[in-house]
Amino acid sequence: MSLSGRIFFVLSLFILAVASCTKPVILGSDFLDQEKADLKFSDDFSLTFYTEKSDSVLVHDDTIARQLVTYVCGSLNDPFFGKTKAEIYAQPILPTVATELLGATLDSVVLDLRYDTMGNYGDINQPITIEVYRMMERPDWLKNYYSNQSFLTSPDLLGSLTFTPRPKDSVTVITPEDTIKVAPRISIPLNIGLLNDLTTQDTIVYENQDSFLTYFNGLYIKMSIADNTLLGFNLVDAISGMSVYYKKLDTTEQEFRMIFTGLSVKTVHLENDYAGTMVGASLSPEPESDYFYVQGLSGVATKMQVDGLSNLGNVIINEAELEFYCSFPDGDNPAFFPPCPYIVTSYSNATPPDYSLDVTVALVRSSGDYHSLTYTTLFGGDLNQVADGPPAIYKYNMKVTSQIKDIFKGKTENIIYFNPIDKGNIPSRSIIYGPGNSLYPPRLRVFYTAI
């Protein structure tokens, strides 16, 4: 199922539940022509921003729709956001009975990983090394795992590959029968000396999935010899998997392929270190002035408080719209660290995210496709360049009607959180101008009718 389909399935259930209790209304809808003349607006609110750490993000759930789509691996050394490290734990499982491996002779074992360019960040033009180890602890598929979770692994290097990433280049595969081009991937040869026990297990190991996972807990994948590269991989793509090439007696070489699916555990372990950086300094109790920050994966979020709504008096709020601008301070690298393509609002910094009703309605109406015109019309939050620079200036504009109405009425706490949409899959970050900027301060516009 695609990401948009997964989002649509989950959010549809939520909206149906809400709709069963309340009269449906489209937030931010057009008003009747005769009512437009009565509309007033205000944009002189005081906005206060605070940058906060995120403890973790959800990286595995037994509900497939809530699992990651992009699995990132690597490390960053960002001049403003500090160090980020990402490592993958993944269980290959048997697609069918594998008793044919018993008593076979291994020729080779190869781990294939299909690139997912949505997870690429930093410098991807320099040689890097990816290492693979065997997991020595079996994760439980029924449990939720978060990005601060790690597992026991063997110290023995199972395989490695040093290469320069080519995430958009197809790969040529030569076989005795043909030469074909396949989708971009990396193929890591594994040490058959450390995997010979694949051929000597009891029959039940290859007839029962649970027995197999008890024997073969999974793979630990990390990047070394790299300081500023994150790569994304699509583990559930048909290309990704562990191929075992073997012979039995005098037969020709055969292949048995173990795969990653939604029914196997796949997680990403994430670490962030903000020591000595601008973002690290912002994590104090004091509000932001010059900049505030939004970061994907397990990175920082920002919350906003609004002062001045009560000055509107006895009114009906019809629509509320927020705009803010991001750019690249001196010392930043736009080529390595482009800003988040989509930012969303939520009620808290929880994981999984509790998106605001403004976001939820837009996602459901657009069938989960946040790249669509329907979504950006109903909510917005997409990145738009407004000045070439250097440095380039970008603008986010988003509807916050639902939350502002509830804050105005005292129904919810006076806080709106900002994060990248689909945060656990997105490595990008944005440096956003704060209230202290004279040219591009954030602005809230509230349209209302006096009563």
Condensed to tens digits (0 to 9), the pLDDT of residues 285-304 reads 999 999 999 999 999 999 99
Q: What are 261's two structure tokens?
A: 């699916």
- Per cent of the chain over pLDDT 90 is 82
CA 295 to CA 420: how far, in whole Å? 7
| 3-state secondary structure at position 361 | helix
pLDDT of res. 175: 57
**Count of helix runs (H) and strand runs (E) in the chain:** 7, 27
What pLDDT sits at residue 263? 93
The percent of residues in the chain predicted with pLDDT above 70, rounded, is 90
Residue that has been written with the tokens 């944009």 in this structure? 43
Residue pLDDT, tens place only, 139-152:
999 999 999 999 99
What band does 26 get if pLDDT is binned at 50, 70 and 90? Answer: very low
389: burial class by Cβ within 10 Å (0-12, 13-18, 19+)? exposed
Higher pLDDT, 5 or 299: 299
pLDDT tens-digit series, residues 93-123: 999 999 999 999 999 999 999 999 999 999 9
d(CA 403, CA 227): 40
Pairwise CA distance, residues 63 & 7, whole Å: 12
What does DSSP assign to residue 139? P
DSSP code, position 44? -
- In which band, very low, low, confident or very high, does the pLDDT at 173 lie, cut at 50, 70 and 90? low
Q: What is the per-residue DSSP string for 273-302? A: E-TTSHHHHHTSSSPPSSEEEEESTT--EE
Band (pLDDT 50/70/90 cuts) for residue 81 is: very high
Residue 39's pLDDT is: 80
What gap in Å lies between CA 324 and CA 441, rounded to an integer?
7
- What is d(CA 408, CA 50) in angstroms, rounded to the nearest whole number? 20
pLDDT at 414 over 50: yes
Burial 107-120 (b: 16+ CB within 10 A, else e): eebbbbbbbbebbb
**What Cα–Cα distance (Å) separates residue 295 from each residue in 16, 27, 57?**
31, 27, 12
198, 101 Cβ separation under 8 angstroms:
yes
Give the count of beta carbons closer than 10 Å to the beta carbon of residue 23. Answer: 5
**Does the pLDDT of residue 87 top 50, yes or no?**
yes
Q: Work out the number of other CB atoms within 10 angstroms of the CB of residue 203.
A: 11
SS3 of residue 100 by DSSP:
helix
pLDDT of residue 24: 37
Residue linked to tokens 């109903």? 378
Read off the pLDDT of residues 33-61 as tens digits, 9 standing for 90 and up: 445 456 898 999 999 999 999 989 999 99
pLDDT of residue 14: 45
pLDDT at 9 over 50: no
pTM, two decimals, is: 0.88
Q: How do residues 373-400 score in pLDDT, each as one tens digit?
A: 999 999 999 999 999 989 999 999 999 9
Total number of residues shown for the chain: 451
To the nearest whole number, what is the mean pLDDT of the chain? 90
Cβ atoms 386, 308 nearer than 8 A: no
> What per-residue confidence (pLDDT) applies to 226?
82
